[in-house]
Structure 1
C-alpha cells in the first residue's frame, strides 16, 4: 500500500510502501514516555521503500528496552515524532509514527509488542498478535 505523511506543521513530508500487516502498537516504557501516552502506534516500512520528500528531521539516540540504540526522529519545528530506526547509515527499516500517516484510518494494528509493559488499564486488541518483547516476525 502506498502511503504518505507529514509532521503536524507540514515541514517534513515522506512517502513509502507499507504492508498493512506491519502496523502495530508498542507498549514499551520508552514508547510510553516518548509519545506522552500509554503506547505508540507504529508502521514498519523497509528502508528501500521510504523516502523523505521535504525537510530534515532532528535525531535523538536512545537505548531502548531491547538494549539496542535507536534513532528517534522528529520535526525540529513542531516536535512531531516521525519514526525510529537503527543508528547505522542505511537502516534496514523505519518504524513510522502512524499518527503522521495520512491514510492512518485504514491501518488497524495487527500486532502488539512489549506487552509485558502494557499499562493495566489498556486492553488487548482482539485479533492482534501479542509479543511480550520485540516481534519475532
Structure 2
C-alpha cells in the first residue's frame, strides 16, 4: 500500500510503500520517552520503502531497549518523529510513526509489542469520561 505524510510544520513530506498487516503499537520505554506518551503507533515500510519528497530529516542514533542501534528520524524544525530504522549497511525497513501518515485513520493496529513495559492504566481508558473536543470542556464538572 502506498501512503504519504508530513511532519507537523510541513517542512518534511514523504511517500512510502508499507505493509498494512504490519501496523503495531509499541509500549517500550524508548517509544514512551521519544513520543512523550504511553505508547507509539507504527506502520512498517517495505524494504527501502520510504522516500522524502520534501526536506531532509535529522537523525539521532540510540541504543534501543532491545540493545540494537536505531536511527530516529525527525523534523529538525518542529521535532515531529517520522521513523526509526536500523543502522548500518543493507536495505532499510522503516517504522513510520503513524501520527504523521495522512491515511492513519485506515491503518488499524494488528498487534502490540513490548507489552511488559505498557502503562498499567491503559486498559482503563474505555471507562474514562470522553469528550468530542477540548479544551472548552469544564473538567471540574466531571
TM range (shorter): 0.7 to 0.9
Residue 55 of structure 2 is aligned to residue 59 of structure 1: no
Aligned residues: 124
Q: Tell me the distance in 1 between the aligned counterparts of 2:27 and 2:99.
A: 16
Q: Secondary structure at the match of 1:59?
A: strand
**Contact 1:47 1:90 (C-alpha < 8 Å) held by counterparts:** no
By how many angstroms is 1:47 displaced?
Answer: 3.2
Q: Tell me the distance in 2 between the aligned counterparts of 1:78 and 1:90.
A: 29
Q: Tell me the distance in 1 between the aligned counterparts of 2:11 and 2:106.
A: 24
Partner of 1:49: 49
Residue 61 of structure 2 is aligned to residue 78 of structure 1: no
By how many angstroms is 1:90 displaced?
Answer: 4.4
Partner of 1:134: none
Larger CA Rg, structure 1 vs 2: 2
Partner of 2:36: 36
Q: Tell me the distance in 2 between the aligned counterparts of 1:95 and 1:49.
A: 10
Query: Which consecutive residues of structure 2, in runs of 5 or more, have no partner in the other structure?
Result: 125-142
Q: Which moved more, 1:80-89 or 1:115-124?
A: 115-124
Q: Secondary structure at the match of 1:21?
A: strand
Runs of 4+ in 1 over 4 A off after TM superposition: none
Partner of 2:135: none
**Contact 2:59 2:72 (C-alpha < 8 Å) held by counterparts:** yes
Q: CA RMSD in A?
A: 1.4
Residue 117 of structure 2 is aligned to residue 110 of structure 1: no
